Amino acid sequence: MKRRRIAERGIEGLLVFCGALSILAVLFITLFLFLRGAPLFKKVPLTEFLFSTRWEPTAADPGYGILSFIVGSLLVTGLSLVFAVPVGLSVGVYLAELAQQRFSRAIRTAVELLAGIPSVIYGLFGIAVIAGLNRSAFGGTGYGVLSASIILAIMTLPTIINVTEVSLRAVPRELREGSLALGATQWQTIIRVLVPSARSGIAAGVILGMGRALGETMAVLMVGGNAPIMPKGLNGMVRTLTMNIITDMSYAKDDHLTSLFATGIVLFVFILALNLVVQIALKRSLSGAEGAAGA
């Protein structure tokens, strides 16, 4: 018994250490970003940095405005989610509730392969196929917001599909059986019972996909056009926050380098704020549902 208790305490201590290590890693990354990026705001006002579109860090009179990159990041991420969420949710529902075993196995294998493909391969596919199709359909170079959004949508699909399937399978069987026993069809049960019950998990999958889209660099760099200008329409060239960092990092120095770390701060704050907003919305939704059930 003593050995078992010692082993259990040792495992518990190891798990606590791993959890604390994760927290410390986030804190150190946050501290590092702010220490390296915050000094820029002693020379460049925060409002100018966030709301100016003039990015000329190497000019005699340098400009450090990232508004076009912020708009580009939000536009590409939002459009990719518009493409990916309906498809990912539909495939997740199909795998969890409707697919036969042989079909579900084949689809899961394909989804796993999608998750394992390197970003640069997605970028090459975007150059060879997506950009070419956009060029034929809409003219221009084919490199821009739409091409980048389609590639990001494909890249985020595995996350949304897997989390949706797992969330639906985690719904208690009693809810499914009770709905069917009351005369609901399988489709009505899925739409009105299972999906609402699994909405917190599905939302988590969307958040993870959104984080993947916001943080992706290589594939977007290859098909987005990488022009430091405000995006002009879906076929206009775009540069996101991550693209700006990777493009200039190789030759940046002094204030230019500091501005790239400041761009990282903005990206970090965006992801944190989006997570907080979604979590608050989910808590309100769940509390409202519990209140209605209690009434």
Q: How do residues 183-198 score in pLDDT, each as one tens digit?
A: 888 888 888 888 888 8
Contact status, residue 115 vs residue 158, Cβ threshold 8 Å: yes
User: Around Cβ 62, how many Cβ atoms within 10 Å?
Assistant: 16
Residue with structure tokens 């996909």?
209
Averaged pLDDT, 127-152: 91
Identify the pLDDT of residue 277: 73
pLDDT(287) > 70: no
Domains of the chain: 72-239 (1.10.3720.10)
Contact status, residue 255 vs residue 62, Cβ threshold 8 Å: yes
SS3 261: helix
- Distance from C-alpha of 106 to C-alpha of 113, rounded to nearest angstrom: 11
- Distance from C-alpha of 66 to C-alpha of 180, rounded to nearest angstrom: 54
pTM of the model: 0.85
pLDDT(113) > 80: yes
Identify the pLDDT of residue 293: 47
Contact status, residue 201 vs residue 215, Cβ threshold 8 Å: no
Identify the pLDDT of residue 123: 92
